[in-house]
Amino acid sequence: MLQFEPGMNRLILTLSLFSLSLAACSSDGDGDDDVGGAPTVTSTTPATASTGVAVNLPLSATFSRAMQPSTLDATSVVVKSGTVVVPGAVSYAGNTVTFTPAAALLPGVLLSATITVAAKDLAGVALARDYTWTFTTVAESAPPSVSATTPRDAATGVWNGEKPTVSFNKAMDPASLTTTTFTLMQGSVAVTGAVSYDATRNTATFTPAAPLGVSLPYTATITTGARSSGGLALASATSWSFTTRATTTSELPVRLGSAGNFAVLAKTKLSTVPTSAITGDIAVSPAAATFITGFALTADGTTTFATSTQVTGKVYAASYTAPTPSNLTTAINDMSTAFIDAAGRAPDVTELGAGNIGGLTLAPGVYKWGTGLLIPTDVHLVGGPTDVWVFQIAQNLTMSSGARIILGGGAVAKNIVWQVSGLVDLGTTAHAEGIILCKTAITLRTGASINGRLLAQSAVNLDSSKVAAPAQ
């Protein structure tokens, strides 16, 4: 029988959907031929029959082409122990689908993961046959080991407010994680701080008592004094080093220019499924007013703008009377400049959470991902009213239904920027905070909301959504 143990880290099944040209594997877990033009699974991580798999590391399967998000759910992505189905939730993040079990798995569990023929590509073509691979989580009798560290070893330009973390492959005894077993050194000088343990992620964090120095090397060490919840000592001591960046100057806010005059600004289309509620001006350019749909616009007598009962503010389009077209051209250019500014900031943290930051509390700084970013559960941003967060996302940004961005410590939405090169998808009733600068399209599902701005270089699609421009 499959057993669960509270307090252990969740097993997250992440299915990364990339566009690859050929499949070179078979249905036994080594891959699947591209039968009759059907999409295939080309590789998995871990490989089939892997043992000692960390319970807190994501699992992935790569497809030969992009898939339909609506076909990737609890019926098409199934995890089992024997014949017992592991209950959990499936969410989609751009080209990524995530399976999160309802409870953490015990070590030493043999699992199978299956993607069924219900999964279809964008053209509606299904997998030729079910694809299954197996793996076994780390055994209860095996000593714990380090599965990941932040910052990574030999990292440079690390933010001075960094809190080094270490993730383990199984649940640990919190009492064994102290400033004696988890140390941070600057040369031969011990850094004063405190150690905490997150049982849901099997992660220990060293929080320095003061910001780290500038342009200095640091070494973090976790010793064999750290023990698993079963009393087993760490397999071996682990150390990693990093160097802080050359300045402690806080990041300046991203300048929006005249794009900051709008709650929603899009280039090609702005649509809503009524009734949405927007506080602030909205606009499209170079598209005409006919590309603003669902708002039941009423033209103003000056013909320079329109109004809508769904908008507490004015509605502008490039087809309205001067000076509106010129003003909007400037705003669109300023939006592009802001996107380039945000994308060019030097990152403090890279690839955090392997593209999944659900449940994390993030300090101010610049965060960068070379992939998409998934927010399946609440994320807290904690800092002061002048602190700045910039999130650089190379692919899609997806918030699962009901997920929220929560601000703490006086943090304000105007100083939070999500720079997204792919699509943005806020799930049903999800809530975001900050400025979204998107190179493509932004979609807010039914009941989704944002305290911030939606600035898209193509379209913005709303569905009974709420958008409120942040206080300046």
β-pairing verdict for 146-150 and 165-168: antiparallel
Report d(CA 342, CA 419) in Å as an integer.
Answer: 6
Name every residue whose Cβ is closer than 8 Å to that of residue 112 and which is 6 or more positions away in sequence: 79, 80, 81, 132, 133, 134
Domains of the chain: 13-137 (2.60.40.3710), 146-244 (2.60.40.1220), 257-468 (no CATH)
Tell me how far apart the alpha carbons of residues 339 and 336 are, in angstroms, rounded to a whole number.
Answer: 5
Residue for token pair 């877990």: 29
Local confidence pLDDT in tens for the 472 residues of the chain: 444 444 444 433 443 433 333 333 444 444 454 545 899 888 887 788 988 877 766 677 788 888 888 898 889 988 888 898 888 777 766 567 777 777 767 788 998 889 899 989 888 999 999 999 898 988 888 899 998 898 999 998 887 778 899 989 888 999 999 999 999 999 999 999 999 998 877 899 999 987 788 889 999 999 999 999 989 999 999 999 999 877 644 467 899 999 999 999 999 999 999 999 999 999 999 999 999 999 999 999 999 999 999 999 999 999 999 999 999 999 999 999 999 999 988 888 889 988 999 998 888 889 999 999 999 999 999 888 888 999 999 999 999 999 999 998 889 999 999 999 999 999 999 999 999 999 999 999 999 999 999 999 999 999 999 999 997 7
Strands 84-85 and 77-81: antiparallel
Which pLDDT value is given to residue 246?
A: 73
DSSP secondary structure, 375-424, as one string:
E-S-EEEE--TT--EEEEESS-EEE-TT-BEEEETT--GGGEEEEESS-E
Q: Which two tokens stand for residue 350?
A: 């890279």
Helix (H) or strand (E) segment spanning residue 91: strand 88-93
At 177 the pLDDT is 97
Structure confidence at residue 25 (pLDDT): 40
User: What Cα–Cα distance (Å) separates residue 438 from each residue in 83, 341, 384, 455, 458?
Assistant: 44, 13, 26, 6, 8
Q: Are 237 and 180 within 8 A, CB to CB?
A: no
pLDDT of 241: 97
Sign of the dihedral through C-alpha 265, 424, 357, 349: negative
Position 66 scores a pLDDT of 82
Cβ-proximal residues to 204 (8 Å cutoff; 6+ apart), any chain? 165, 166, 168, 172, 177, 182, 195, 196, 197, 198, 222, 226
User: Are 438 and 249 in contact, with CB atoms under 8 Å apart?
Assistant: no
- Are 299 and 315 in contact by the 8 Å Cβ rule? The answer is no
